[in-house]
Amino acid sequence: KAGVTQTPRYLIKTRGQQVTLSCSPISGHRSVSWYQQTPGQGLQFLFEYFSETQRNKGNFPGRFSGRQFSNSRSEMNVSTLELGDSALYLCASSFENEQFFGPGTRLTVL
Amino acid sequence: TQLLEQSPQFLSIQEGENLTVYCNSSSVFSSLQWYRQEPGEGPVLLVTVVTGGEVKKLKRLTFQFGDARKDSSLHITAAQPGDTGLYLCAGGPNAGKSTFGDGTTLTVKP
């Protein structure tokens, strides 16, 4: 089975812009989660989608949003980018009690 | 909010030495996962422990889940340079909404 894929792998944006990241889960996995990883805060949960519905949400501002499509692929969007949004954004797909991560998208905000 | 504390934060050892990494919480977890992450990549799932007191072995790695399901440990025997990386423990109400520890950065010197 192919693993979790994320596109793009690297992205450079400027403050105030918006960005959309994409994630394709492992075939058959209906749960897709997004995490933000920074050196100072570690890995923090953003949100989880299951069957096109947001099932859980972390403590991030409304500028962070996501969606899931009928084929389980997911996108997350960050609007009005801030310097502090620079991070590695990780997508993971889950089945039962196991979670598998993609390689991440490295976002740099200038 | 369920919190996970990992110790030590950094560990630098010589090849061939043994080491133990700890993951502790005041909360009970239905399961805990251990991951290894290399720079610029997503975490790779090593193991999931579910039953209190459970011990799982993966080659030179031994994982233990505390009897009360509040803590876990990872023991590496005869560490090798290839074991170098960031080790993360994680748990949550379901795999798709995980709380992560801050991680243990392991460096194994040849």
Give the integer Cα–Cα distance in Å for B66 and A53: 34
B39 φ/ψ angles, rounded to the nearest 5 degrees: -55, 130
pLDDT in tens, B58-73: 999 999 999 999 999 9
The rounded percent of chain A whose pLDDT value lies above 90 is 92
3-state secondary structure of B72: strand
Task: Decide if A96 touches B, using CB distance below 8 A.
Answer: yes
Determine the straight-line distance between the first and last CA of chain B, rounded to whole angstroms: 40
pLDDT at B48 exceeding the cut of 80:
yes
pLDDT at B93 exceeding the cut of 80:
no
The rounded percent of chain B whose pLDDT value lies above 90 is 87
Tell me the mean pLDDT in the region B78-92.
Answer: 96
Tell me the mean pLDDT in the region A57-61.
Answer: 95
Q: Select the residue of A43, A50, A97 nearest B31 (Cβ to Cβ).
A: A97
Give the mutation candidate from B5, B35, B38, B94 for the A interface (greatest A CB count, under 10 A). Answer: B94
pLDDT at B1 exceeding the cut of 80:
no
Our CA-based measurement puts residue A100 at a distance from the nearest CA of chain B, in whole angstroms, of: 6
Residue B95 is predicted with a pLDDT of: 78
Task: Decide if A23 touches B, using CB distance below 8 A.
Answer: no
Residue A12 is predicted with a pLDDT of: 98
Give the integer Cα–Cα distance in Å for B12 and B7: 13
Give the integer Cα–Cα distance in Å for B82 and B56: 20
What Cα–Cα distance (Å) separates residue B102 from each residue in A51, A93, A109, B85?
A: 30, 21, 24, 13
User: Which residues in chain B have their CB less than 8 angstroms from residue A92's CB?
Assistant: 42, 96
Give the integer Cα–Cα distance in Å for B58 and A90: 25
Question: Which is it for strands B61-65 and B55-58: parallel, antiparallel or unpaired?
Answer: antiparallel
